């Protein structure tokens, strides 16, 4: 497949925000891609590989400007003007290359060089991108510049637009993973097999691999895809309910209560030989941040290989008491690992076993998985020099009455947990990777506040700051996730709970996610903003209550015509949920459930606060 042809599909995708139309276009694209399917899937997601492989191009806009200058001869000053005028560096590249093409045509109407230039194959572009990503160390920037300049020198204006957007991380076609899975099912199977594709994706976390497997081996090959050590699975997620009575009713009268630790969820892959790897729920490789945990885990493990899940929590080395999430978060992104190990000691609390010695346990009931976890670790061998066990099993207890749930909850909070998880123990209590359901239910201490729980919301826009906050964003526009429509719907403006340093740093970070020309295609908004962003950043928010609002789109028209839901008096808790993908944010169903649980009888609109 030619890259020019791929870019034509991108143009068509940009012309619509309707998911069904996007799916139809993607079906046509995937069928045409054929042997280039895997590369096309990655490129259409704006990536070079699966998320967990962590392959990034690492090209700054300044370097792209230099590459454009060297490949087109247009001065950097004129390029800057074109960029400011277009508001998008890809559009600026399209403009300058179009002008260069017109000048060449005018200067040499009949010259040999005026013959149409052959488009670059997708495979060649994909490989050049990988070469750019592999360029590291001393002289890497000049290497990246040279490779990018050569690509742009051969590119058509259309190709240049999407080359630039891809290398700067701003392709943003508004296409989610689930939409691509819909298209794969329609292109190579039938809609009834869509769940099989999603199951395979949840197990391998690699859309490109799922597509290639389906194309080459058919549905039979897809159905054979199973958990593998070293390949992270998408995490199983929980629902929430407000009372122990409702929780036990969902569980059929019995459940397993576990502490809900205020830490960082990790999926640990223990190979028979070689290094242990840790992955976050966003599939980031966090291995470098926890070498001490890997050592303790290897010492305590008594099996051959395994995939286990747990929560890594900062602990007080003197007392063993758990510390809040902000403490373990200090380990993220730190390069001086040995120093931070001493500064922030941690314990890994294991709560599930997904694979053990070659056996996939995800289709085993929770009690069997828990038993496998218990017999596979000698916790005493995972203790440090002071005797503190750095590998522990999550504290858990079977319960059958609301009183037992409450007692376990109160004890857990007293120990420093943020609440509890209640999990099904029935014969169908399987581990459903990538799924959210009532097999696992959260019950948190925020339920005693007016707004019964904290919310994980996604930053989708911002309002410019004034006064002391001039030059930064003064408030962020937050959104909840609507999985039915695969979109993000605004729910509040968030301006409190930030200190100046945090807000200033967040302003700089959000610039890399900025979306020009209005809300991102996956964002539904009725409110005005000074800046819009791709839905990437997740923050934890608390508030007084949920109210009906004529300004926000969360649940628009569900509870009242011409009204959505909003958070009254929202406040940032200080917790940035980098461990969560935006699709793991609080969902519309959860928002509506929480609103109803408040006991609202009025339906009048609330003013925006």
Q: Please tell me whether residues 376 and 256 are part of one structural domain.
A: yes
DSSP track, 13-63:
HHT---HHHHHHHHHHHHHHHGGGHHHHHHHHTT-SS-GGG-------HHH
Taking the CA of residue 114 as centre, how many other CA atoms within 13 Å lie in the half-sphere pointing to its CB? 10
Strand duo 391-393 + 346-356: pairing: parallel
Cα end-to-end distance, the chain, whole Å: 52
Q: Please tell me whether residues 388 and 518 are part of one structural domain.
A: no
Q: How many domains does the chain have?
A: 3
Q: Please tell me whether residues 444 and 472 are part of one structural domain.
A: no
- Return the pLDDT at 420: 95
- Return the pLDDT at 101: 67
Query: What is the value of pTM for the model shown?
Result: 0.83
Q: Please tell me whether residues 414 and 519 are part of one structural domain.
A: no
The CATH number of the domain where 519 resides is what? 2.40.50.140
297 in any annotated domain: yes
- Return the pLDDT at 447: 41
Q: How far is CA 159 from the centre of its chain?
A: 28
Q: Please tell me whether residues 253 and 128 are part of one structural domain.
A: no
Calculate the alpha carbon distances from 487 to 176, 521, 590 in Å: 9, 8, 15
556: left (phi over 0), alpha (psi -120 to 50) or beta: beta
The CATH number of the domain where 265 resides is what? 3.30.470.30
Q: What is the domain extent for residue 377?
A: 237-448
218 in any annotated domain: no
Q: What is the 3-state secondary structure (H, E, C) of 203-245?
A: HHCCHHHHHHHHHHHHHHHHHCCCCECCECCCCCEEEECCCHH
DSSP track, 360-398:
E-TTS-HHHHHHHHHHTB-GGGGB-TTS-BSEEEPPEEE
Which residues face 396 on adjacent strands? 258
- Return the pLDDT at 459: 98
- Return the pLDDT at 57: 86
Q: Which of 219, 175, 215 is nearest to 195 (CA)?
A: 219
The last residue of a domain, from among 399, 420, 448? 448
Q: Please tell me whether residues 428 and 503 are part of one structural domain.
A: no
- Return the pLDDT at 608: 38
Q: Please tell me whether residues 259 and 117 are part of one structural domain.
A: no
Q: Which residues of the chain have pLDDT under 70?
A: 101-118, 445-452, 599-609
17 in any annotated domain: no
Residues carrying an active site annotation: 260
- Return the pLDDT at 117: 62
């Amino acid at each position: 497949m030619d890259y020019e042809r791929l870019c034509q599909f991108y143009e068509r995708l940009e012309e619509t925000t309707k998911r069904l139309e996007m799916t139809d276009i993607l079906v046509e694209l995937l069928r045409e891609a054929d042997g280039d399917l895997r590369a096309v899937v990655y490129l259409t997601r704006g990536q070079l590989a699966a998320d967990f492989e962590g392959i990034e191009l690492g090209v700054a806009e300044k370097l792209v400007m230099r590459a454009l200058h060297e490949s087109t001869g247009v001065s950097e000053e004129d390029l800057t003007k074109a960029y400011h005028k277009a508001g998008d560096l890809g559009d600026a590249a399209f403009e300058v290359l179009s002008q260069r093409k017109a000048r060449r045509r005018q200067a040499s109407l009949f010259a040999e060089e005026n013959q149409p230039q052959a488009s670059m194959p997708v495979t060649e572009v994909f490989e050049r991108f990988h070469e750019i990503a592999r360029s590291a160390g001393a002289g890497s920037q000049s290497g990246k510049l040279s490779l990018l300049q050569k690509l742009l020198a051969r590119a058509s204006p259309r190709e240049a637009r999407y080359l630039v957007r891809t290398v700067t991380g701003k392709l943003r076609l508004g296409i989610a993973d689930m939409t691509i899975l819909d298209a794969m099912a329609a292109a190579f199977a039938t809609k009834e097999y869509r769940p099989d594709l999603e199951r395979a994706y949840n197990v391998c976390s690699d859309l490109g691999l799922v597509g290639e497997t389906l194309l080459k081996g058919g549905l039979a090959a897809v159905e054979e895809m199973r958990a593998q050590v070293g390949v992270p699975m998408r995490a199983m997620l929980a629902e929430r309910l407000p009372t122990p009575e409702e929780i036990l009713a969902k569980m059929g009268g019995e459940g397993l209560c576990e502490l809900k630790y205020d830490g960082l969820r990790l999926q640990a892959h223990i190979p028979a030989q070689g290094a242990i790897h840790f992955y976050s729920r966003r599939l980031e490789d966090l291995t470098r941040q926890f070498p001490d945990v890997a050592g303790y885990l290897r010492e305590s493990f008594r099996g051959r290989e395994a995939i286990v899940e747990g929560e890594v929590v900062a602990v007080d080395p003197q007392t063993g008491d758990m510390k809040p999430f902000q403490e373990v978060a200090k380990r993220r992104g730190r390069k001086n690992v040995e120093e931070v190990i001493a500064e922030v000691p941690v314990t890994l609390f294991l709560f599930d076993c997904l694979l053990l010695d070659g056996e996939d346990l995800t289709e085993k009931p929770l009690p069997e998985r828990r038993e496998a976890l218990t017999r596979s670790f000698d916790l005493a061998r995972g203790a440090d020099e002071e005797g503190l066990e750095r590998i522990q099993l999550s504290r858990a207890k079977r319960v059958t009455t609301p009183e037992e749930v409450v007692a376990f909850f109160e004890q857990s909070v007293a120990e420093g947990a943020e609440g509890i998880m209640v999990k099904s123990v029935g014969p169908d209590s399987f581990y459903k990777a990538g799924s959210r359901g009532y097999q696992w239910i959260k019950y948190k201490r925020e339920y005693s506040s007016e707004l019964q729980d904290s919310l994980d919301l996604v930053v989708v826009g911002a309002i410019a700051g004034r006064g002391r906050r001039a030059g930064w964003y003064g408030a962020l526009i937050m959104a909840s996730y609507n999985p039915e429509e695969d979109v993000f719907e605004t729910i509040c403006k968030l301006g409190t709970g930030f200190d100046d340093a945090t807000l200033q740093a967040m302003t700089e970070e959000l610039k890399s996610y900025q979306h020009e020309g209005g809300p991102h295609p996956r964002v539904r908004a009725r409110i005005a903003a000074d800046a819009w962003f791709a839905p990437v950043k997740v923050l934890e928010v608390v508030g007084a209550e949920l109210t009906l609002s004529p300004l926000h789109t969360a649940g628009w028209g569900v509870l009242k015509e011409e009204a959505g839901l909003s958070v009254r008096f929202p406040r940032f808790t200080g917790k940035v949920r980098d461990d969560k993908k935006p699709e793991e944010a609080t969902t519309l169903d959860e928002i509506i459930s929480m609103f109803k649980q408040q006991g609202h009888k009025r339906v009048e609109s609330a003013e925006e606060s």
